[in-house]
Chains A and B, each alone.
Chain A
Amino acid sequence: MRQTPAAYPLTWRIMDGLEAFVAFAWPARLGAAIPWLMLAPALLLVGLLVIGLVQIGDVSFRTLDPSTYRMSENYTIANYQRAFTESLFATVATRSLLGALIVTVVTLVLAFPYTYLMVRTPNAMLRKLLLTALFLPFFIGQVVRAYGWLIILGNQGMVNEALGLVGVEPLRLLYNYPAVLFGLVQYMLPFAVLMLAPALSAIPEELEAAAESLGANWVRTFTHVVLPLARPGLVGAGLVVLTLSLTDFAMPAILGGGSQDFIANAIYDQFFRTSDQGLGSTLALLLVAAGSLLVGLVIALFGAGTLALSRVRR
């Protein structure tokens, strides 16, 4: 039966028009290109990063002429030789890598029970409280948080004042390696909890109940059920914390008292203090390489965790 105009609403007609336009502008034979079209913004961004890296790579093979403060025209590997032979850079690199590993382990250990409690507690008020405590630090920048620790841990800070009440002389709690690691752990904790929460939420509570009903105590349930199933979250959180810690600038600069530099601080020094963009670029590229190798190693050993690009399970 032929439809009357009233039976074919205006909105349908508009949709028909739009479909016709799309069919004209983007014919069906181009359908295979749609995924690439969706990828285009990401490819553009990555492309820009690659261009930047190529330029940094170019500068890394040039040396600074201190009589003109310009980079040399010719290429040389002198900056790489300096980076690998000068004790300063070995010290700073070792400190950064070791620090990143310690911070990652400590952060995961602290984040796990926090996250577990947050996703498992039946008390809605407690869950809200934990969520609020998790998100609050995101509203405060890293630098402000570091300065907060200066106030709390300083010679005349709250902790030393409290110690003074029980007759303890002021302790040097700041401007050392543990202070930097402490600041980093505090900064990284919310990131780790955020990465762990989806993984722990995905573990059915029934599995834990089943293990307990089969006679497993909470330790065995934890080690044989929860921990293996939480591995993707732990790996994902570990990768994020590891890379962020390895490349951090502010905590070593503020809480380190100038003598606990990480690689990022050394790069800053070369770019902005000695104006040696060549050596700064070299260190930056080596940092990218070290970080990539470390991440690659973790992925090779443990998989990519929640960062994995696998298809949805069917």
Chain B
Amino acid sequence: MNGRKIMSQVFDRRRFLKTAAMAGAATGVYGLNAPRAWAQEPEKPKEIIIRAWGGSWVDSLKAGVSDGFTAKTGIAVRHDLTEDNEIQPKVWAAVDQGRVPPIHINWDTTVNATKSALRGVTEDLSGLSNLASTTDLAKPVGLDGYPIINTYGYVYVLAYRPSAFPDGQPKSWKALLDPKLKGRIALYNDGIGMHFPAQVAGGGKLEDIPGNMQPAWDFITQLKGQSPLLGEDPDFTTWFQKGEIDAACTISTNAREAKKNGIDIAWTVPEEGCKFDTDGLWIPKGLPANELHWAKEYINHALTVEAQQIWLDGLGLPGVVPGVKPPQDLVNDPSYPTKPEDFKNLIRVSAKIQTENQSEWFSKFKAIMQG
């Protein structure tokens, strides 16, 4: 036996004794408190899994909600960056088959979440204590109770590169039809965000949604003539940064992200208005009781002023808890509505109407854009 082995054994024995002593002490402490702890709260899981969007979105959630939750409860939070549309069928299948779903909480668009609520795979969240201190925005429109809790709102603004608009900011969505912008504009690839302003820009009325949306389709057909790029959230930031586009209908967060990266970008709410929508958190059915409890606690924590302040500072979006202050760069910004008059030019259609008509609207938008 050489010296290194002897030292190793001594060290290992010492480490073992030390570890055992610590474990014993810890057990003793927990042993004293255990009955009380069990009486108060269900067993803590090692981690809970939150589905989230990547990039600055998940960074903001982590900084604002997840880190605080872990500090408070000791439960680790894992962020699953599976695309929201792709996690949905997995969760639906798990619930239908009586399996434990792959995530504890889905951070989702309210429209997508409403589909899950209509399907009956969401847990009821109406008992959360912090709901009492939220604004009306937290309540999903057109649904009973709280199968989803909206956590913030956002505006699909007209984002633009000021150098492409030398006469000043565009006043109307019709500015996108300027021939010099051909091939230089971008929309969401499912048309989301553009349907309702297009209804107004096309000469129609919002009250006619969903019955008669021909004006919207007419305006979108005109936009098709401009050969728009069609993408998703990260694409807009990239396209602005790479000089591919000069204007887009996108969530203000994406334009703000490009601006943070040094690109000269501005945004506005044109006279026809902008779509206002919400994202939310929901819990799929089928979780063990203790994990359901802690998933609810996570959402409850997300509804505190402290969590919302940090989370939504990162996203640049208005929250659902009074007292959250806008970031310095978004004070009085039209994409950050805080007062009732700020909503005057924003268009909000219930998630239920949107989900019930999504397939038809999607097909019509695609038929125009793929033609």
Query: Which A positions have Cβ atoms within 8 angstroms of B?
Result: 64, 66-70, 86-88, 91-92, 95, 154-156, 170, 172, 174-175, 257-259, 261, 266, 269, 271-277
Q: How far is the CB of B345 from chain A (nearest CB, A)?
A: 28
New contact pairs (15) apart from A155-B242, A257-B230, CB-CB < 8 Å:
A66-B356, A66-B357, A67-B118, A67-B356, A68-B118, A88-B363, A88-B371, A155-B244, A175-B229, A175-B244, A258-B369, A259-B227, A259-B369, A273-B85, A274-B363
> Quick check: B370 and A155 within 8 Å, CB to CB?
no
CB of B115 within 8 A of CB of A87, answer no
Interface SS of chain A:
loop
Can you list 17 A-B contacts (CB < 8 A)?
A66-B356, A67-B118, A69-B355, A87-B367, A87-B371, A88-B363, A91-B370, A155-B242, A175-B229, A258-B189, A259-B229, A259-B230, A271-B89, A272-B88, A272-B89, A273-B362, A274-B358
Partner of B370 from the list A69, A88, A170 (CB cut-off 8 Å) is: A88
| Contact of B68 with A by CB under 8 A | no
Q: Per-residue 0/1 for B270-310: is the Cβ within 8 Å of any A Cβ (1 yes, 0 no)?
A: 00000000000000000000000000000000000000000
Residues of A within 8 A of B357 (CB): 66
Are A259 and B370 within 8 A (Cβ)? yes
B242 engages A154 (CB within 8 Å): yes
The number of inter-chain residue pairs (CB within 8 angstroms) is 82
Please measure, in the bound complex, the distance between the C-alpha atom of A255 and the C-alpha atom of B88, giving whole angstroms.
Answer: 26
Q: Which of B88, B190, B366 contacts A275 (CB 8 A)?
A: B88
Q: Is residue B231 contacting chain A, with contact meaning CB distance below 8 A?
A: yes
Q: How many residues of B contact A (CB 8 A)?
A: 33
Q: A272 and B229: CB pair below 8 A? A: no
Q: Is the interface of B mostly helix, strand, loop or mixed?
A: helix
The closest CB in chain B to the CB of A151 belongs to B242
| Chain A residues near B244 (CB-CB < 8 A) | 154-155, 174-175
Known contacts A66-B356, A69-B115; is-contact A257 B242 (Cβ 8 Å) = no
Inter-subunit contact A156/B243 (CB<8 Å): yes
| Contact yes or no, A66 B229, CB < 8 A | no
Q: What 0/1 readout, one digit per residue, does chain B (98-138) give for beta carbons within 8 Å of chain A?
A: 00000000000000000110111000000000000000000
Any chain A CB within 8 A of the CB of B2? no
CB of A88 within 8 A of CB of B367, answer: yes
Q: Which residues of B line the A interface, CB within 8 A?
A: 83, 85-86, 88-89, 115-116, 118-120, 183, 189-190, 227-231, 242-244, 355-359, 362-363, 366-367, 369-371
Cross-interface CB contact of B371 among A70, A91, A156, cutoff 8 Å: A91
**A30→B231 CA distance, assembly (Å):** 60
CB–CB A273/B242 < 8 A: no
Beta-carbon contact of A68 and B119 below 8 Å:
yes
Chain A residue with the shortest CB-CB distance to B119: A69
CA distance in complex: A259, B359 (Å): 18
Expressed in whole angstroms, the minimum distance between the Cβ of A232 and any Cβ of chain B is: 38
State in angstroms the CA–CA spacing of A308 and B371 once bound together.
39
- The docked-state distance in angstroms from the alpha carbon of A137 to that of B301 is 48
Q: Which residue of the partner chain, among A64, A156, A261, A272, contacts B86 with CB atoms under 8 Å?
A: A272
CA distance A175 to B230 in the complex (A): 9
User: Complex formed: what's the CA distance from A68 to B366 in Å?
Assistant: 24
Given known contacts A69-B119, A86-B363, A155 and B371 CB-to-CB distance under 8 angstroms: no
Give every chain B residue within 8 A of A67 (Cβ-Cβ).
118, 356
Shortest Cβ distance from B232 into chain A, in angstroms?
9
Interface hub of A92, A154, A259, A271 (most chain B Cβ within 10 A): A259
Query: Which residues of chain B have C-beta atoms less than 8 A from A261's C-beta?
Result: 366, 370
**Complex-state Cα separation, A277 to B358, whole angstroms:** 14
CA distance A241 to B229 in the complex (A): 28
Contacts of A257 in B (CB 8 A): 229-231
